[in-house]
Structure 1
């Protein structure tokens, strides 16, 4: 069952879950972790490696924003495979405290990958990405609508 990502859009939805069984699996895994971490707050940080992502649509562009606090451009990759936009990266952090009676070192590492199905015909050169204050904004120009042409049918003599 396909669900439209951007409400009110008259064109085909941005997600094609019926063609991608892994999209449905990813949704179910996300739902499982959300429910699990709600009941066990200590596990909420495990799921926090997956960034929150919003997809919106204007007349001539699709905008994807992702919350990536603490990450810089060098930590993030944005790519296009077929008609799928892929945002991935890795977060590494280390904290060290030294006091007279103790030495604390905490390290955390986590990688993430999110994907969004785009309309057919999107070109990589029509995609731009920028990050500011921990928010990644990816803008995708919509491809020109396909032209419809009526073909005249001639009768054979």
Structure 2
């Protein structure tokens, strides 16, 4: 049986972050946020991520301060790398009232679409001091795209950057 790939899979991270902001920002803060048991992908927080080229390798850095490496799961399916897990909430402190609380706890999930043709044996990951670094060997390919002219409807001008890019 063939499994169809969801073309909107990468977009779900944006919706996860918007749902998290809505639940914590609009309703009065983290005390009104969902409990870890209530969290789904739609409400999981999305860790900060950098994607860069190091020579011919594609490097993905995911910031997971306060997360135990044992609580992190990496998977690769249908060209999509998924980093997921959970960050436990700090033990409650008696007599403490948070004035500002910006760190997120509970389930997290980040999906990144890797270059077409990426094979699992090209992917290597390390965890060091709260930072997951995933390296995709030979993951950077020369630009094989064609730039498309963009016309500004208000002025009628067309961009000059047309050609191979």
By the TM > 0.5 criterion, same fold?
yes
Give 1:115's match in structure 2, choosing from 111, 115, 118: 111
Alignment partner, residue 16 of structure 1: none
Q: Which SS does the other structure have where 1:85 is aligned?
A: strand
Larger Rg computed on CA atoms: 1
Question: Contact 2:79/2:116 (CA < 8 Å) preserved in 1?
Answer: yes
Contact 1:72 1:131 in 2 (8 A): no
Task: Give the C-alpha shift of residue 82 in structure 1.
Answer: 1.6
Q: Deviations over 1:112-149 (max 9, x none)?
A: 1111001111111111111111111111113596xxxx
- Report the CA distance shift for 1:28/1:95 in structure 2 as closer, same or farther (over 3 A): closer
Give the equivalent residue in structure 1 for 2:13.
26
Distance 2:21 2:92 in 1: 30
Could you state the TM-score of these two structures normalised by the residue count of structure 1?
Answer: 0.58
Structure 1 residues not aligned, in runs of 5+: 1-18, 103-107, 146-157
Deviation at 1:26, TM superposition (A): 3.4
Structure 2: runs of 5 or more not aligned = 1-5, 34-42, 96-103, 142-165
Corresponding residue number in structure 1 for 2:79? 83
Alpha-carbon distance in structure 1 between the residues aligned to 2:134 and 2:11: 23
Deviation, structure 1 residue 21: 2.1
Contact 2:125 2:135 in 1 (8 A): yes
Describe the superposition over 1:41-74 as per-residue Cα deviations: whole angstroms up to 9, x where unpaired. 7249958842111111234111111110111221
Matches within 5 A, 1:28-43: 28-31=15-18, 33-34=20-21, 42-43=29-30
The verdict on how the C-alpha distance between 1:45 and 1:80 changes in structure 2, with shifts beyond 3 A counting, is farther
Aligned to 2:134: 138
TM-score, length basis structure 2: 0.56
- Rounded to whole Å, the distance in 2 between the matches of 1:68 and 1:111 is 12
